[in-house]
Amino acid sequence: MNITRKLGLTLVAAAAVTLYGCGKEEPKKAEAPKAAAPVEETITVKIAHAGPLTGGIAHLGKDNENGVRLAVDEANARKIKLGGKTVKFEMLTEDDQADPKLGPTIAQKFADAKVAGVVGHLNSGVTIPASAVYNQAGIPMISGSATNPKLTEQGFKVVFRTVGRDDQQGPAVAAYIAGELKAKKVAIADDATAYGEGLANEVEKTLKASGVNIVAREKTNDKATDFKAILTKIKGKNPDAIFYGGMDATGGPMIKQARELGIKATFTFGDGACTAEMTKLGGPASEGLICSQPGIPTQMASKSFQDAFKAKYGEVKQYAPFFYDGANLLIAAMQKADSADPAKYLPALASISYEGATGKIEFDAKGDRKGAEMTIFQMKKGIVEPVAIIKDGKTTKLDGAPAAAAPAAPAPAAPAAAPKK
């Protein structure tokens, strides 16, 4: 459970902690190294990806890997030249099993293999320990999904990310609650995990700053099923909106129990409960809930990326565009510096301004993406649909839902509802 809980920090998807023992997959080793016979005008540059390729969230790790692979294949097709020599990009990929202990081990493996840059990892819990090794080895690393603020607060010059941070998400939801829902009285609850409590605290701070009255601050735990006691207390305070910091496994039953008690307030959640599972776990009560996710909705990634990805690997699951951008950022920085030497292209990466599949990417001094977007979703007929994008505290409403086929939920409708085997 502990591991799962840590995952929650980054993962948008408790729902994704899916089938036991599914998706067994051998981490693909890079193709036979060509470096053995260096021809004068070609050089080989190794770009590494690491993420969970086995276990409960293997499908998300594989999605990321596909994003990186697409970028690398495209770069090879473009026959990029660095220092006058044609570059052959070679992709290394490792399975970190979403295990924090494996993070540094894999990082060391990449350092020994003298990779030019790393795109990964998926989980904050794994990325943070691994980043120390990358920092020591001087290898630039870009994660497309690690949202824990701590990652870029360590002062490592080589660490970047293409998604927003958890502490940008709280203020974004809060801005929506205060600005769009126009709630005057808000009740806040959390599941007492690092993720849930941290997010709820950020929401509380921002709401208070904008003059919203916090009428209740309740706590439960991430294994609870009975929320009636705290909900009854909340009902007595008669709030306009309720924010819950926690995952869908607790958020779903909570919203259901709240409606049974006759609570009419709008429910709002963070990314942990922003999944398609909510409609199953919460039933009809989940209709109309508001939730947020870092980044832009996957269906809003650039058309060229979507088409290329779909042709090769099928639907985008969640973070692939952010990892695709990560790999492209490394390559673009190398081109800008005309070198694949990390020491030489790192300054170029830090000061880059790049138009990626997820929009314009620039990094601040810490390595966080400048003006990272947060998306607000609403549950409509069992599908979480994006309704607004919040960037730098400004809300842009999306008119008309994007193509109906787009599953905004991070996890593909996990087969939790059906008994397996």
Region binding other proteins by CB under 8 A among candidate stretches 147-155, 251-259, 388-396, 397-405: 251-259
Backbone phi and psi for residue 41, each to the nearest 5 degrees, phi listed first = -95, 0
Name the 3-class secondary structure at 188.
Answer: strand
User: Any contact of residue 210 with other proteins (CB under 8 A)?
Assistant: no
Give the position of tokens 């990806």.
49
Task: Figure out which of the listed residues 72, 173, 249, 331 binds other proteins, where binding follows CB under 8 A.
Answer: 249
User: Any contact of residue 15 with other proteins (CB under 8 A)?
Assistant: yes
User: Any contact of residue 220 with other proteins (CB under 8 A)?
Assistant: yes
**Residue whose CB is less far from other proteins, 233 or 360:** 233
Task: Figure out which of the listed residues 20, 26, 112, 399 binds other proteins, where binding follows CB under 8 A.
Answer: 20
User: Any contact of residue 3 with other proteins (CB under 8 A)?
Assistant: no
Residues 163-202, mask of contacts with other proteins (x by CB under 8 A):
-----------------------------x----------
User: Any contact of residue 50 with other proteins (CB under 8 A)?
Assistant: no
Least distance from C-beta 374 to other proteins, angstroms? 26
Residues 358-397, mask of contacts with other proteins (x by CB under 8 A):
----------------------------------------
Question: How many CB atoms are closer than 10 A to CB 272?
Answer: 31
Least distance from C-beta 407 to other proteins, angstroms? 18
**Residue whose CB is less far from other proteins, 173 or 216:** 216
Distance, in Å, from the CA atom of 194 to the CA atom of 8, rounded to the nearest integer, reads 9
Task: Identify whether 49 is preceded by a cis peptide bond (ω within 30 of 0).
Answer: no
Name the 3-class secondary structure at 299.
Answer: helix
Distance, in Å, from the CA atom of 107 to the CA atom of 130, rounded to the nearest integer, reads 6
The per-residue DSSP string of 106-135 comes to HHHHHHHTT-SEEEE-S-HHHHHHHHHHHH
Q: Sign of dihedral through CA atoms 360, 317, 392, 385?
A: positive
User: Any contact of residue 252 with other proteins (CB under 8 A)?
Assistant: yes
Q: Where are the alpha helices (DSSP H) in 113-213?
A: 124-137, 166-179, 194-209
User: Any contact of residue 23 with other proteins (CB under 8 A)?
Assistant: no
Task: Figure out which of the listed residues 35, 39, 209, 261 binds other proteins, where binding follows CB under 8 A.
Answer: 261
Q: What angle do CA 74, 79, 82 make, to 5 degrees?
A: 115
Closest CA to 75 of 19, 117, 17, 120: 117
CB 14 within 8 A of CB 1: no
User: Any contact of residue 235 with other proteins (CB under 8 A)?
Assistant: yes
- Interface with other proteins (CB under 8 A): 1, 15, 17-21, 56, 192, 208, 214, 216-221, 223, 225-226, 228-230, 232-233, 235-236, 249, 252-253, 256-257, 260-262, 277, 280-281, 283-284, 414-421
